[in-house]
Amino acid sequence: MSDSLKIASWNINSVRARIEIVERFLKEQQPDVLCLQETKVEDALFPAEMFRRLGYKHILLSGQRMHHGVATLSRIPMREELRFDWQANGEARHIGVRLENGIRLENVYVPAGGDIPDRDLNPKFGQKLDFIERMTRWSETVTCPTIMVGDFNVAPLECDVWSHKQLLNVVSHTPIEVEALTALQASNDWTDLGRHFHPAPQRLHTWWSYRSPDWTKNDRGRRLDHMWATGDVAAQAVAHVVHEPCRNWERPSDHVPLVTEFRL
């Protein structure tokens, strides 16, 4: 293995529906590892052939029919470590692997949380907060070099959304969610790689709603997707790129991929 490691993360919003743009992205960016979220396919039907053809022969899946699902695909050897049920209901939202260099890589899909930011009126919101709380308890026990990536479904900073004032009571940017994610980051030596390379208040969005007819015109984006690393690994990161042009590709996901490059 070379001393360079390039890791990509992308909420693809159905890998089978968007396999062509995944192939294009892999050919153009050549990451060593790709972490996908919201694959929406059970493992037996996962379109693995394209990945193998491009050299991603190491494939670990945690899928479900039509919903949720994560997949980690790699050109370098890896082995599965653990799958956590932070949702506490069997949904496929996490897969953890260990790369051949000893680094752990956690691929996470945090629940969206529904539309009403009140756990009494909206059980999904409570499930989301409980999910992050369970992640936080796990995070406190992490002692090895670790990278955690995925769709966290929270935009924590005021500059992580197109309008802090207008989204304060919108799920993904409410104070209680921000507090929960901030506590998760504080529970260990996590570096937010996005903001490490693109410090606040720089614009940094990873998601734009399909409801917007021209996402580039009003740019009502949010930073829902994240890459974090423990300090020992973060110190070796050399670049972090949000690939916005992918949002304009044919039949795009509403999320765009993130790529961090490390020199180990």
The Cβ of residue 105 has, within 10 Å, a number of other Cβ atoms equal to 25
Q: Which two tokens stand for residue 83?
A: 């799958």
User: Considering the chain, what is the average pLDDT of its residues?
Assistant: 96
Task: Count Cα atoms within 13 angstroms, Cβ side, for 13.
Answer: 15
User: What pLDDT, in 10s, does the model give residues 180-192?
Assistant: 999 999 999 999 9
Q: Which CATH number fits domain 4-263: 3.65.10.10, 3.30.70.100, 3.40.50.1000, 3.60.10.10?
A: 3.60.10.10
Using the predicted structure, report yes or no on whether residue 100 has a pLDDT greater than 90: yes
What are the domain boundaries of the chain? 4-263
Structural contact between residues 257 and 2, judged by C-beta atoms closer than 8 angstroms? no
- Return the pLDDT at 11: 98
Orientation of helix 175-186 relative to helix 123-139, angle to 10° = 10
Residue 222 phi/psi, 5-degree rounding, is -140, 150
> CB under 8 Å to 186, separation ≥6 — which residues?
none
- Return the pLDDT at 2: 54
